[in-house]
Chain A
Amino acid sequence: MKDKVMEHILEVRNLKKVFVAKSEKYVATDDVSFAVDAGECVGIVGQSGCGKSTLAKIIAGFIAPDSGQIFLCGRDITYAKGAALRTVYANMQMIFQMPEESFDPRKTIGWSVAEPLRNLRPELGRKQTEERTRCLLAEVGLSPSFADRYPHELSGGQCQRAAIARAVAISPKLLICDEATSALDMTVAAKTIDLLRRLCFEQQIACLFITHDLALLTRIAERVIVMHNGKIVEEGTTQQIIYGAKSPRTKELAAAALVMTPPVTEGT
């Protein structure tokens, strides 16, 4: 059993979380189990309120589950605290929907991008950390001068690139992206997706990509998990989910993706 757990970068077993508001119960995640392997990108898709973001927050450790377990690189991190939590974040990073809001407005971009390095690679020292920050910014297509700017001086797309630089700074094993491109302009979103895919491939980072847009996943994910009312309703390759959906929920998502896709331009 232990060997099997070791194979996966992330394994989630029977996660359950119930929110209670005004004595009404909302089951946000209901017996959710799945696994992500090294270098693999798995998409989680579903309508608003299906529990996909709650799932991301539970895995990231922002919300405690009611029951179930989370394994990162074979280690149970469900209730990790203190020093154990540092190991978790050395292996797992997140990218959020609103890039401007995920940076401290009073710190420069360089300071924020270098934060995981300072916390988790203190042995690097100041000079090397600065050097590495510049390399990271170059890697995501931002000039080194961006290190001295503040978040409000960047566009949404530039900010999201900086967030990606920060997330990959310590070469994590797993990246969780929650609607990471939904707030960006379409041409910028397309470039951001390409950047994420290239970085994950080059550094063999496993990626959990959460979105409501199934069509988007054809650009990045090999495998898709469909959620509805907190439950996983279907799982398969991206092609299977779009063209051979079985569950009615998946069919709805696939239909929306298919009809709202423009035709291929002639001569391309």
Chain B
Amino acid sequence: MNKETFFAVQNLSVAYNGQTVVRSVSFSVRCGEILAIVGESGSGKSTVLKAAQGLLGSGGRVSGGRIMLYGRDIYRLSPAERRREIAGSTVAMIFQNAGASFCPIRTIGEQIYESVREHTDWSREEFTAQSKAVMKRINLPETVLNEFPFRLSGGMGQRAGILAAVILKPALLLADEPTSALDTVTQLSVVKELMELRRQQNIAIVIVTHNMGVAWYMADNILVMRDGEPVEYGAKEQIFRRPQAQYTKELIAAVPGLRL
């Protein structure tokens, strides 16, 4: 397995309309690694992810530090290069309510095919074949390709979002609270499917979550954030079994504890 570091956030600061909301955040991700960024509302965890995908929106800008992908600062790429290299083919993103990010009046298959055509010259047959291969891995019935988004349950919508994100075999998947809108049983199956994708495609995942259980189950490394600043960063076992920061201890204590 390729273990090189290919994605690194170095001393990142983000400001919205001149006000700094994220301060000196650093982490790095190796191929096939799962990093969980955990924190509560307003900790800046989603902002870090948006900065990494170039989705800060108007008023937001990277005010310090760099985001390096394969040794290149993504904010020094031209917009066209960024769109071609980052959006979709190398870095993909899934959101909390992926089902709602589809257009409601067109089928799932049509929409994903359209985005795929932006990056490849796949025929419809090839697209269908590739889709089916991924769908098998994430327990998504093939009929979903011909469905409209509103016909899908929360878990199915999320899986459709994952399909759209990983069909081009990106090296990095950025996931913003991908399980938070789901019930616990569905959460566990989506989490397992993401880990199966990692195993088969060696895809690295940065998952932003407030759910310590999901972080514990999935991640190799964990970054704890609070009020826009990093609190603690390290291997999962280290963070959960021997947390150093008081805030990390509080977060872990807030999880309903089951004695195993």
Interface residues, chain A, with chain B CB atoms under 8 Å away: 47-49, 156, 185-190, 212-219, 242, 252-253, 255-266, 268
Given A185-B40, A186-B40, answer yes or no on A261-B182 (Cβ-Cβ < 8 Å).
no
Question: Is B255 interfacial (CB 8 A cutoff)?
Answer: yes
B6 to chain A, nearest CB (A): 28
Can you name 13 A-B residue pairings with CB atoms under 8 Å? A48-B154, A49-B153, A186-B255, A212-B184, A215-B256, A252-B185, A257-B258, A259-B188, A262-B212, A265-B241, A265-B242, A265-B249, A266-B241
Which are the 3 A-B pairs with shortest beta-carbon distances? A260-B213, A190-B254, A262-B216
Chain B 211-260 interface residues, beta-carbon cutoff 8 Å to A: 211-217, 240-243, 249-260
Whether A215 pairs with B213 at a CB distance below 8 angstroms is yes
Distance A32 CA – B140 CA, assembled complex (angstroms) = 32
Question: Is B198 interfacial (CB 8 A cutoff)?
Answer: no
Distance A221 CA – B212 CA, assembled complex (angstroms) = 21
Whether B241 pairs with A256 at a CB distance below 8 angstroms is no
Query: Which residues does chain B contribute within 8 Å of A219, judged by CB atoms?
Result: 256
Whether B188 pairs with A255 at a CB distance below 8 angstroms is yes
**What 9 new A-B contacts, CB under 8 Å, besides A186-B212, A259-B188, A259-B217?**
A187-B250, A190-B253, A213-B184, A218-B257, A260-B191, A261-B216, A263-B216, A263-B260, A266-B242
From A189, A260, A268, give the contact of B184 (CB < 8 A). Answer: A260
Question: Is B183 interfacial (CB 8 A cutoff)?
Answer: yes
Query: Which residues does chain A contribute within 8 Å of B243, judged by CB atoms?
Result: 265
Distance A189 CA – B180 CA, assembled complex (angstroms) = 15
B45 to chain A, nearest CB (A): 12
Query: Which residues does chain B contribute within 8 Å of A188, judged by CB atoms?
Result: 40
Query: Which residues does chain A contribute within 8 Å of B78, judged by CB atoms?
Result: none
Whether B241 pairs with A263 at a CB distance below 8 angstroms is yes
Distance A49 CA – B249 CA, assembled complex (angstroms) = 35
Interface size class of B (residues with CB under 8 A): 35 or more
Question: Is B186 interfacial (CB 8 A cutoff)?
Answer: yes
Query: Which residues does chain A contribute within 8 Å of B212, judged by CB atoms?
Result: 186, 262
Chain B 192-223 interface residues, beta-carbon cutoff 8 Å to A: 210-217
- CB nearest neighbor in B for A212: B183
From A186, A261, A266, give the contact of B254 (CB < 8 A). Answer: A186
Whether B213 pairs with A261 at a CB distance below 8 angstroms is yes
Whether B184 pairs with A256 at a CB distance below 8 angstroms is yes
- CB nearest neighbor in B for A193: B256
Whether B183 pairs with A260 at a CB distance below 8 angstroms is no
Question: Is B41 interfacial (CB 8 A cutoff)?
Answer: yes
Distance A174 CA – B156 CA, assembled complex (angstroms) = 37
Whether B183 pairs with A185 at a CB distance below 8 angstroms is no
Whether A256 pairs with B210 at a CB distance below 8 angstroms is no
Query: Which residues does chain B contribute within 8 Å of A263, judged by CB atoms?
Result: 216, 240-241, 260
Given A48-B153, A186-B40, A187-B40, answer yes or no on A261-B255 (Cβ-Cβ < 8 Å).
yes
Query: Which residues does chain B contribute within 8 Å of A257, judged by CB atoms?
Result: 184, 258
Question: Is B90 interfacial (CB 8 A cutoff)?
Answer: no
Query: Which residues does chain A contribute within 8 Å of B260, judged by CB atoms?
Result: 258, 261, 263
Distance A253 CA – B153 CA, assembled complex (angstroms) = 18
Given A186-B212, A215-B213, answer yes or no on A262-B255 (Cβ-Cβ < 8 Å).
yes
Query: Which residues does chain B contribute within 8 Å of A190, judged by CB atoms?
Result: 253-254, 256
Whether B210 pairs with A47 at a CB distance below 8 angstroms is no
A225 to chain B, nearest CB (A): 16
Distance A156 CA – B242 CA, assembled complex (angstroms) = 31
Query: Which residues does chain B contribute within 8 Å of A185, judged by CB atoms?
Result: 40-41, 210
Distance A72 CA – B242 CA, assembled complex (angstroms) = 49
Distance A96 CA – B133 CA, assembled complex (angstroms) = 42
Digitize B168-188: 1 where CB-to-A-CB distance is under 8 Å, 0 elsewhere.
000000000000001111111
B70 to chain A, nearest CB (A): 33
Whether B41 pairs with A262 at a CB distance below 8 angstroms is no
Whether B240 pairs with A262 at a CB distance below 8 angstroms is yes
- CB nearest neighbor in A for B182: A48
Whether A258 pairs with B255 at a CB distance below 8 angstroms is no
A171 to chain B, nearest CB (A): 28
- CB nearest neighbor in B for A253: B185
Max chain A CB contacts within 10 Å: which of B186, B256, B260? B256
Digitize B39-77: 1 where CB-to-A-CB distance is under 8 Å, 0 elsewhere.
011000000000000000000000000000000000000
- CB nearest neighbor in B for A217: B256
Distance A224 CA – B250 CA, assembled complex (angstroms) = 27
Distance A264 CA – B252 CA, assembled complex (angstroms) = 8
Query: Which residues does chain B contribute within 8 Å of A264, judged by CB atoms?
Result: 257, 259
Max chain B CB contacts within 10 Å: which of A214, A258, A261? A261
Whether A214 pairs with B259 at a CB distance below 8 angstroms is no
Whether B184 pairs with A253 at a CB distance below 8 angstroms is yes
Max chain A CB contacts within 10 Å: which of B242, B250, B254? B254
- CB nearest neighbor in A for B183: A212
Distance A218 CA – B257 CA, assembled complex (angstroms) = 8
B31 to chain A, nearest CB (A): 25
